[in-house]
Amino acid sequence: MAAWGAGHSVEQGTRLPYHLCMDETTTLYRPVGKAELDLIQESGYTRFPARLPHQPIFYPVLNEAYAREIAEKWNTKDEASGYAGYVIRFRVKTKFIQQFAVKQVGDTQHRELWIPAESLEEMNRNLVGKIEVIAEFFGLANLKALP
């Protein structure tokens, strides 16, 4: 499995040439809140839910560290996320995702793909294996609600 850009210098907004990612699948990550995780669970961990009207882009990130940073520092403080952040890992066919530009949105590790909402169903058809939850973070508001 390849991590996009691993070992390669990637300009913001560029696409990695297919020959640089010779593996058939690429591992991506995504920080999610409780509601999105519930929908992923309902699918049997096989697909991502449709985007809401105010969410025109699906943003998987290229490395686990960035996903953990968002899940821990943002989701745990967000009421809409249920004051919980989860890091999920999934594999997708490299040939499908290589069409999307890599965007750097901050620090050098803050790289993500911008997949239009209308391409999400096709991405779901290109997933390989199950979506995995690999980390969980809970904010103080969440912990106070526990019995």
Q: Which helix (H) or strand (E) element contains residue 31?
A: strand 25-32
pLDDT band at 14 (very low <50, low <70, confident <90, very high): low
Residue 2: predicted pLDDT: 42
The pTM of the whole model exceeds 0.85: no
Is the pLDDT reported for residue 47 higher than 70?
A: yes
Is the pLDDT reported for residue 96 higher than 90?
A: yes
Is the pLDDT reported for residue 141 higher than 80?
A: no
What percent of the chain is modeled with pLDDT above 90? 63
How would CATH label the architecture of 18-144?
Answer: Alpha-Beta Barrel (3.20)
Residue 124: predicted pLDDT: 98
- What is the overall mean pLDDT for the chain? 84
